[in-house]
Amino acid sequence: MGKFIYETLRVDFEDRVLAHLQQVIGAKLRRGESFHFSWRDDASIGDGRTTIWLHPSATIVYKYYGSRPPSMNRAWIEALSQVANSGAGLHLVPEPSEPTTTNGGDR
């Protein structure tokens, strides 16, 4: 279980989810973009929703509990990037299947 730490806020995400969020958040902040990031809270803290405003000067820590980096799904990164660029801001979307490739190219 990974942890997203923003200022004094600490939120648990699975390592695989956290790795994908790190890619999307890092790309937006490198471009100097600020945006909202929202998620559903765990039932243990009220089962609500939290939204934060991320900006390039924010200090963010990504703490992973697994020893190996998770595999990355490019299609999921693209889907998360697309919602991050919307007016609603970044929020988790279901992981899409990665497109399959064939060895012969287009026929």
**What are the residues whose beta carbons fall under 8 Å from the beta carbon of 74, sequence distance 6 or more?**
98
- Domain total of the chain: 1
Residue 18 domain-assigned (yes or no): yes
DSSP 40: E
Residue 107 domain-assigned (yes or no): no
Residue 73 domain-assigned (yes or no): yes
Range of the domain at 80: 2-91
**pLDDT tens-digit map of 56-80:** 999 999 999 999 999 999 999 999 9
Q: Which phi and psi (to 5°) does residue 53 adopt?
A: -105, 115
Q: Which pTM value belongs to this model? A: 0.85
**pLDDT tens-digit map of 78-99:** 999 999 999 999 999 999 987 7
Longest dimension (CA), the chain: 54
Please report, for residues 61, 69, 99, the alpha-carbon distance to residue 54 in angstroms, rounded to integers and kept in the order given: 13, 24, 31
Residue 99 domain-assigned (yes or no): no
- Reference 8, options 51, 59, 45; nearest CA is 59
Residue 96 domain-assigned (yes or no): no
